[in-house]
């Protein structure tokens, strides 16, 4: 093979970090666009092992091994969607290879809730009161900081509702902090004031430091104590004025985190007075099929392609690929009631079902975080009220 031929092939190579079902849309989109996909993940039978052109059984945390292979491959881009852990490796490898991506400083802030809140504070972005703690000193630090109850205890560096507890009093604080720390990669926890109100997220794409809001999402959860997501809905139902205030706060947060490139998922609360408080921002696409499935359905935008575009230093393409639906919804399976709801869709409105994932046996074990839910389905509606009639508010 000539040097020119090899260079042309390199221009069409994409390295993807992660191979599970939430990463598969990225692999499929890259292949659809004619790219040669090189996928890295721990080998556990995930779908991406089969859909990739080339699969490497290297854990996504083994960034130096992945870097070594990518130095050999010289891909045109490296990317991932929906995983904070994967983005640590994506931006590390991109930095070493001189590929477009967010800086290592941005990665450090956007994947650690404590560093993130410190960056928000410095930039004047509205956040709840918080303190980083360890089990041995948690009670003393929370009292010293004067945090108002109730509080949320979280790992500093995990997503997917892992290790989260809400406390109405300080009773059980040490146990909650220990639970969060056990779920943290760095073994630490953060305690923050619980903001009353509804929870939402804002889905964005950034290019060369310019941020674009694609849509906003309403979040449904199990509530206290662990707040595991039960579903997501687009559009979110906020007024145009509220959405404009959200955009201003989110864009300020993205800038504070030094996000310049790629997708982002900002979680925020809106209280009864209409005030916006940023909970956290991930410099990656939202998981739970929010970015890969709901955004294209509700906006017509090809969000996954935008990730590939910006990973190569190109401007994202905002040309709609489809006519948007009026409402797009994902519902997760927790138990028998959810299976009954799915059966109701199948019997009464099968045309509204867009996708049903494989459903695991309900006797597999309890749902303790997002990764242990039994499955999900995606539905679309002619209006939000129709969703509420089927599923509830």
- 79, containing H or E segment: strand 77-79
* Confidence at residue 227, expressed as pLDDT on a 0 to 100 scale: 85
Could you list the mean pLDDT of each consecutive 10-residue stretch along the chain, which spans 393 residues?
Answer: 50 93 95 97 97 98 98 97 92 97 95 94 89 90 92 87 88 94 91 89 97 97 86 95 94 97 94 85 94 97 98 96 96 96 96 96 89 95 91 79
CA–CA separation, 125 and 123 (whole Å) = 6
| Per-residue b or e along 148-184, where b marks 16 or more CB atoms closer than 10 Å to that residue's CB | eeebbbbbbbbbbbbbbbbbeebeebbebbbbbbebb
**pLDDT attached to residue 1:** 44
pLDDT at 11: 66
pTM (2 decimals)? 0.90
Give the per-residue pLDDT at 248.
Answer: 95
What is d(CA 340, CA 248) in angstroms, rounded to the nearest whole number?
Answer: 41
pLDDT at site 65: 98
Return the pLDDT at 225. 76
pLDDT on residue 2: 47
Long-range contacts of 224-227 (CB under 8 A, 24+ apart): 224/166, 224/168, 225/164, 225/165, 225/166, 225/167, 226/161, 226/164, 226/165, 226/166, 226/368, 226/369, 227/152, 227/161, 227/164, 227/166
Residue-level pLDDT at 270: 87
Could you tell me which of 257, 181, 258, 247 has the C-alpha nearest to residue 213? 247
For residues 167 and 188, give the distance between their C-alpha atoms in angstroms, rounded to a whole number: 18
CB 90 within 8 A of CB 119: no
Distance from C-alpha of 101 to C-alpha of 207, rounded to nearest angstrom: 10
Backbone dihedral region for residue 390 (phi beyond 0: left; psi -120 to 50: alpha; all else: beta) = alpha
């Amino acid at each position: 093979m000539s040097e020119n031929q090899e260079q042309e092939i390199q221009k069409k190579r994409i390295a993807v970090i992660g191979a599970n079902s939430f990463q598969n849309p990225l692999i499929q989109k890259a292949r659809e666009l004619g790219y040669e996909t090189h996928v890295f993940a721990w080998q556990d039978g995930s779908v991406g092992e089969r859909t990739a052109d080339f699969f490497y059984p290297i854990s996504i945390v083994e960034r130096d091994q992945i870097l070594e292979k990518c130095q050999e491959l010289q891909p045109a881009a490296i990317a991932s969607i929906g995983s904070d852990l994967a983005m640590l490796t994506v931006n590390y490898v991109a930095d070493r290879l001189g590929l477009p991506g967010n800086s290592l400083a941005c990665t450090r802030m956007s994947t650690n809730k404590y560093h993130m809140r410190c960056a928000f504070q410095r930039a004047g972005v509205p956040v709840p009161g918080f303190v980083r703690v360890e089990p041995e000193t948690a009670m003393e630090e929370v009292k010293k900081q004067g945090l108002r109850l109730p509080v949320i205890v979280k790992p500093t560096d995990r997503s997917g509702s892992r290790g989260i507890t809400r406390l109405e009093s300080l009773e059980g604080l040490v146990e909650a902090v220990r639970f969060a720390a056990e779920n943290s990669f760095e073994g630490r926890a953060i305690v923050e004031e619980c903001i009353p109100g509804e929870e939402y997220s804002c889905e964005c794409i950034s290019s060369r430091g310019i941020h674009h809001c694609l849509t906003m999402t309403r979040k449904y959860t199990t509530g206290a104590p662990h707040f595991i997501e039960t579903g997501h809905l687009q559009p979110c139902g906020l007024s145009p004025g509220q959405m404009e205030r959200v955009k201003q706060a989110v864009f300020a947060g993205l800038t504070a985190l030094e996000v310049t490139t790629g997708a982002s998922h900002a979680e925020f609360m809106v209280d009864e007075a209409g005030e916006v408080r940023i909970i956290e921002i991930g410099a990656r696409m939202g998981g739970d099929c929010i970015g890969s499935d709901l955004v294209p359905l509700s906006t017509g935008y090809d969000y996954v392609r935008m990730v590939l575009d910006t990973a190569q230093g190109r401007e994202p393409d905002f040309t709609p690929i489809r006519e948007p639906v009026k409402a797009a919804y994902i519902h997760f399976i927790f138990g028998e009631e959810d299976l009954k709801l799915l059966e109701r869709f199948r019997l009464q409105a099968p045309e509204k079902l867009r996708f049903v994932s494989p459903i695991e046996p309900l006797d597999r074990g309890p749902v303790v975080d997002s990764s242990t839910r039994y499955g999900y389905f995606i539905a679309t509606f002619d209006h939000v009220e129709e969703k509420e009639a089927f599923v509830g508010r």
